[in-house]
Homo-oligomer: A and B are copies of this chain.
Amino acid sequence: MTMEEKLMKKLSSGSLDFEAYFSEKALEMKASEIRELLKLVEAGDVISLAGGLPAPETFPVETIKKIAVEVLEKHADKALQYGTTKGFTPLRLALANWMEKRYGIPTSKVEIMMVAGSQQALDLIGRVFINPGDIVVVEGPTYLAALNAFKYYGPEFISIPMDHDGMRIDLLEEKLEELRKQGKKVKFVYTVSTFQNPAGVTMSLERRKRLIELAREYDFIIVEDSPYAELRYSGEPIPPIKHFDDEGRVIYLGTFSKILAPGFRLGWIAAHPHFIRKMEIAKQAVDLCANTLSQVIAWKYVEDGYLDEHIPEIIEFYRPRRDAMLEALEEFMPEGVEWTKPDGGMFIWVVLPEGIDTKLMAEKAISRGVAYVPGEAFFAHREVKNTMRLNFTYVPEETIREGVKRLGEVIREELEALKG
């Protein structure tokens, strides 16, 4: 027993029945499986390709230090005080300009609200839009923590399969038509449009345009979660779905987690002011406002051009890691194993031959010194068992290579066992 466990035991020897006080919804809450898995990995000589962490080497520490000192010298009264719920106005303005310049999306500061990481945006969207039983469309696989955030509000998830061009919009359309015949409507479609987590794929231009048309035709909202779009290592940029939105149907989520530092817990929502206003009121009740010190630092970071300077540096840092993983997969994976070839982001998605359950295989892999995230949890209905997510941003090239090599061996053995 660890000290914590001992204390836990001591502390739990009281007479209270703690579970009895929880709300019904709280009783249903479960810890994130990935986080639980990562705890296992911390011990021992395990190469973790399981995490979703940016490499600390990409944090612009010197810039942050310089700006922090400047901000505390010149703007301490604002940077340390409560702020407005919507966020620090100069930062909102700077982001509006940045979105306009970078993505050609005409944006005003009234369309921008700052949040405590885009995770908070997902929770606020659940709070503001989802009635129990509402239909929410997600990609299959999709971002696990989005499922977690939405789940609290009791939606019915519909999962649309993906291919190398992202969500299969043709299948979405079939589903929408089917629902229409049943007199049902979709509340919103959630997509990680570029370099998706977990699959690494990007929704094609054509599909983006078609999705917007469908949103109008079938009257739903689109939640476009875009934490990775800046991290493009190859290929040509594609405009966000939000770029094609002239009605206010797209709620766009941006974040500083991958282009500055995740510790800032700072993201933004770009959406029609009617939607922003309601999410602002919801945010008032949950945490009043985002960290102001981080907001003022982020403001200088965007406004003074550090962000645009730093993005290419992050790209140069990650590209060799992506390449190393793709090369290692090519070299070490047995026949029958497939994977995505992302132009950016942080993840590669691996599909093993049917019959292999990656969740069952995970413990063995860890015992052999390599960890990945089993794909099952990324599916709203846990309908797929033979997939896994690999991260290539956190560990160096040679470690990636060794990790993939170990993984290849484990998979090879599993395949042998299947045959045998």
Tell me how far the C-beta of A266 lies from the nearest C-beta in chain B, rounded to whole angstroms.
8
Check A80–B264 contact: CB distance below 8 A: yes
Q: Select A285's contact among B29, B53, B273, B289, beta carbons within 8 Å.
A: B29
Q: Which segment, of A65-73, A308-316, A365-373, faces chain B?
A: A65-73
Shortest CB distance A109–B (Å): 8
Tell me the complex Cα distance, A94–B149, Å.
Answer: 31
- Provide the residues of chain B in CB contact with A129, threshold 8 Å: 21-23, 26
* Among A24, A263, A284: residue with most chain B CB under 10 A: A263
Given contacts A18-B274, A294-B293, contact A26 B65 (CB under 8 A): no
A244-283 Cβ-contact flags toward B at 8 Å (1 or 0): 0001110000000100011111000000111100101110
A354 to chain B, nearest CB (A): 32
CB distance from A127 to the nearest CB of B (A): 7
* A240 CB–B CB distance under 8 Å: no
Instruction: Name the interface residues of A286-337: CB closer than 8 Å to any CB of B.
Output: 286-294
**Cβ proximity bits A1-29 to B, threshold 8 Å, 1 near / 0 not:** 00010011001101110110111111001
Bound-complex Cα distance A117 to B123 (A):
17
Question: B130–A23 contact, CB under 8 A?
Answer: yes
Query: Interface digits, A179-220 against B, CB 8 Å rule (1 contact, 0 not)?
Result: 000000001100000000000000000000000000000000
Complex-state Cα separation, A15 to B26, whole angstroms: 39
Q: How large is the interface on A (under 10, 10 to 19, 20 to 34, 35 or more residues)?
A: 35 or more
A contact patch SS: helix
**Inter-chain contact B149/A286, CB cutoff 8 Å:** yes
Interface pair A148/B282, CB less than 8 Å apart: no
Asked if residues A61 and B80 are in contact (CB atoms below 8 Å), the reply is: yes
Shortest CB distance A159–B (Å):
19
Contact A291 B294, CB 8 Å, known A56-B80, A68-B68, A263-B83: yes
CB atoms of B14 and A127 under 8 A apart: no
Given contacts A26-B128, A68-B68, A72-B65, A273 and B11 within 8 Å (CB-CB) = yes
A288 & B81 in contact (Cβ 8 Å cutoff)? no
Whether A59 lies near B31 (C-beta < 8 A) is no
